[in-house]
Each structure stands twice: as C-alpha cells, then as structure tokens.
C-alpha cells in the first residue's frame, strides 16, 4: 500500500480570499462524492454556502485535511469537536471522502488514521461519523436501534466495520416535490391549527432571529441536541445562549442562502415551544434544505410538528416560489416526524448511517 501525505487545508475567512482555493476544491470534492451516494446533485452546497459552518471556531472548531495525487485533491476529511457541548470534551466528529477512481489505494485509510490519531491525542473517547450508503442488493446490516439498515457489502460499510465502527442509527433523506397546491396547503394548515387549539400561535421570520425570541430559540437549539433521537451515539448536550444564536445569525448572513423560520408560541406562557427552519439557496434550480425541526417533549401530541412544517412551506410558497423540491433528514426510528413528512408528500431518496467508534 502506498503511503500518502495527509495535509491540512486552509479554511479561509471569505471565499474571495487569496487562500480560498483549497477550501473551494474540497467542497467540490464533497459535492461529487455525495451526489454519487444519493444519486442526485440536489444536496450540493457551494463553497460560499458551506463556509459559515466552518467559521464557528468558538463553539465547533473544525480542521480540514486532504490528500493530493499529481497535484489534484482526490480525498478529504475533517475533524470536528464541540466545546459548547456538555460532555463534548469526550467526543469528536469526522468524515472521509475519496473520489471513486482513487479508492482502494489506501487514501481513505490514511485520512481516517490521521483523524483518529488527532482524536486520541485530544483525549476523545469516541468518534462519530455520518456516511451515505447507496442502495445495493445482498445482505443488510441492521442499525442498533432496530430501525433501518444499510447494504452489508457496500465499500463504505466494509471500510467502517474494518476500522472498528458500529452502526448505531440510520437516517432517511426525503424529498418533497414542489410546487404544492394552494388549496391543499390551506386545508392542511387549517386542520393542524384546529388540532393544536387556541393555546398555540405561529410566528414567521426570514433571516436573523427577532430579538424577542433569542432566549427561546437558544433553549430550542439546546433541546434539539437532547430531544431528537440519537440512538447509541450519545450525542452530548449542545448548550446555546442568546448571544450564540445572534452570533450564528451574523455568520449565516454572510452566506448566499436565506433562512426561513416558523416557530410556535405557547400563548399562556408567551414562550416558543417549537420551530422549523428552511434554508433557501439563491438559485431556484436547486433544492431547499429542511434543517432543524423540534417540538419540546412537554408540548407534543398537539399536531405542532405538522402545524410548523405546513406553515413554513406556505411561507416558502408565498415568498420564495419556483424551487423544485425540499429535502430533509430524519432518524428512521423517529416514526412520528417521518409520518408528518410522508403525509405532506415527502418520499425517500437515500439513507445514511450514523456510526460510532469507541477509542478508549
């Protein structure tokens, strides 16, 4: 096996910076590998769209690595920690992506070994990765949750098993074709509003979070890390504050994507108890991303998940028309949210495994 040099790649402060070339090339590699995994380019992100996620060095610092062959980047990986998470000092996140024509040469192993060494040197006791598994015939590997599976003989599955990873969870990627029918949207919103009752009221905003909701959204983001299913990954609590929400909004303002948020207020207390976010790209030929959706556990059972999703889809339909689809991800064991999505018309487009390796 050839020994490959794993180099650290620069994460620029702006896409227009003189040192942005590595990051741009690495993003293009990521898009190529992900498109092969899902069979569509609808999930791709431009370098300018992904950069804000890399610039949160205070709460979630990341390092980017690559391997070159004849000067061209053919493999990349990242190493991420989260200093804002309770217990986060024991966990690291990573991924390895290699162009198909350069696989089976040891490039992926070199990057993975480099990242795992960083994690061990950093006293992390577990490493978590999320990897798409394309459909394939043959035996299946079941997730530890008992919900969902991946093709046992897929290259990425064999690679992870050989490196000591265990499949903890499977996430489903789902696509909603657009546009939606006006009448169906109105009927769905009316039905969800009637089911939720007068104790709940929906609010909308585009872009930065209104100041009055910063504290409440910080609670919702924090609870997103504890209330959403995470199987045996043991994802640590990610603690948010109003200041962190505002700082994240400021970073996102530099992205060409537009966040569109719907949140539901519990009227008797005046507090937000649920939210959902859409991420709208600047180009109407591309898919809209459905990002976080959460209803606090103590307020479930009132059809608030459906109310929020229909409300935000209606806002998208009215203010940002012309997009071909919305794409979202949910854990396979999250049957309630999957049912909400299926009722709205989402259909599966692919699956990714959530894997854990115990390092200590």
179-234 pLDDT, tens per residue?
Answer: 998 888 888 889 999 999 999 999 999 999 999 999 999 999 999 988 877 777 88
Over range 309-330, report the average pLDDT: 94
pLDDT at position 160 is: 98
Q: Same structural domain for residues 119 and 240? A: no
pLDDT at position 2 is: 73
Q: Six-digit token pair at 132?
A: 């798409």
- Which helix (H) or strand (E) element contains residue 64? strand 62-69
Q: Six-digit token pair at 356?
A: 């854990």
Q: Is residue 343 domain-resident?
A: no
Q: Is residue 43 domain-resident?
A: yes
- Report DSSP letters for 80-131, one per residue: E--TTEETGGGEEEEEEEE-GGGTTSSHHHHHHHHHHHHHHHTT-SEEEEEE
Q: Same structural domain for residues 185 and 85? A: no
Q: Same structural domain for residues 93 and 225? A: no
- Which helix (H) or strand (E) element contains residue 237? strand 237-238
Final residue of a structural domain among 155, 174, 193: 174
106-116 pLDDT, tens per residue?
Answer: 999 999 999 99
Q: Same structural domain for residues 221 and 155? A: no
Domain limits for position 286: 179-323
Q: Same structural domain for residues 15 and 150? A: yes
154-164 pLDDT, tens per residue?
Answer: 999 999 999 99
Cα 133–Cα 330–Cα 159 angle in degrees, nearest 5: 25
pLDDT at position 268 is: 97
Q: What's the number of CA atoms in the CB half-sphere (13 Å) around residue 82?
A: 19
Judge whether residue 279 has pLDDT over 70: yes
8-37 pLDDT, tens per residue?
Answer: 999 999 999 999 999 999 999 999 999 999
Q: Same structural domain for residues 85 and 143? A: yes
Nearest to 131 by CA among 228, 45, 30, 52: 30
52-101 pLDDT, tens per residue?
Answer: 999 999 888 999 999 999 999 999 999 999 875 555 578 999 999 999 99
Residue 3 DSSP symbol: -
- Contact between 201 and 324 under an 8 Å Cβ cutoff? The reply is no
Residue 271 DSSP symbol: E
pLDDT at position 88 is: 57
- Contact between 217 and 263 under an 8 Å Cβ cutoff? The reply is yes
Spatial distance between the Cα atoms of 334 and 345, rounded to a whole number of angstroms: 17
- Which helix (H) or strand (E) element contains residue 322? none
Instruction: Supply the CATH number for residue 269's domain.
Output: 3.40.630.30
Q: Six-digit token pair at 155?
A: 């290259």
Over range 350-354, report the average pLDDT: 96
Q: Same structural domain for residues 118 and 260? A: no
Beta strands 347-358 and 126-132: pairing type?
antiparallel
Final residue of a structural domain among 118, 145, 174: 174
Average pLDDT, the chain: 93
Q: Same structural domain for residues 142 and 25? A: yes
Judge whether residue 269 has pLDDT over 80: yes
pTM across the whole model: 0.92
Over range 253-263, report the average pLDDT: 94
Total domains in the fold of the chain? 2
Q: Same structural domain for residues 79 and 110? A: yes
- Which helix (H) or strand (E) element contains residue 17? none
- How distant is the alpha carbon of residue 182 from its chain centre? 29
Q: Same structural domain for residues 106 and 218? A: no
């Amino acid at each position: 096996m050839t020994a490959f040099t794993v180099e650290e790649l620069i994460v620029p402060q702006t896409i227009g910076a003189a040192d942005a070339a590595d990051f741009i090339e690495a993003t293009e590699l990521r898009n190529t590998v992900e498109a092969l995994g899902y069979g569509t380019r609808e999930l791709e992100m431009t370098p300018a769209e992904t950069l804000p996620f890399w610039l949160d060095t205070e709460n979630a610092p990341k390092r980017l690595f690559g391997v070159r062959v004849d000067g061209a980047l053919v493999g990349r990986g990242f190493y991420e920690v989260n200093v804002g998470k309770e217990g986060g000092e024991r966990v690291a996140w990573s991924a390895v992506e290699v162009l198909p024509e350069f696989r089976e040469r040891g490039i992926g192993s070199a990057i993975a070994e480099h990242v795992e060494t960083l994690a061990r040197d950093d006293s992390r006791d577990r490493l978590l990765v999320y990897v798409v598994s394309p459909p394939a015939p043959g035996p299946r590997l079941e997730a530890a949750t008992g919900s969902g599976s991946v093709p046992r003989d897929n290259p990425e599955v064999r690679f992870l098993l050989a490196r000591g990873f265990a499949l903890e969870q499977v996430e489903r990627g789902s696509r909603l074709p657009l546009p939606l029918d006006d009448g169906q949207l109105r009927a769905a919103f009316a039905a969800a509003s009637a089911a939720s009752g007068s104790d709940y009221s929906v609010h909308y905003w585009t872009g930065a979070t209104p100041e009055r909701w910063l504290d409440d959204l910080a609670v919702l983001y924090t609870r997103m890390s504890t209330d959403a299913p995470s199987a045996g990954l043991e994802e640590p609590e990610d603690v948010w504050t109003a200041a962190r929400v505002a700082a994240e909004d400021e970073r996102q303002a530099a992205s060409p994507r537009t966040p569109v948020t719907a949140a539901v207020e519990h009227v008797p207390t005046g507090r937000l108890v649920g939210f959902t976010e859409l991420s709208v790209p600047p180009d109407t030929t591309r898919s809209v991303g459905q990002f976080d959706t959460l209803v606090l556990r103590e307020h479930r059972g009132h059809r608030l998940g459906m109310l929020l999703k229909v409300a935000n889809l209606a806002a998208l339909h009215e203010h940002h028309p012309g997009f071909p689809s919305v794409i979202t991800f949910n854990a396979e064991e999250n049957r309630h949210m999957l049912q909400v999505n299926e009722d709205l018309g989402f259909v599966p487009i692919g699956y990714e495994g959530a894997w854990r390796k115990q390092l200590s």
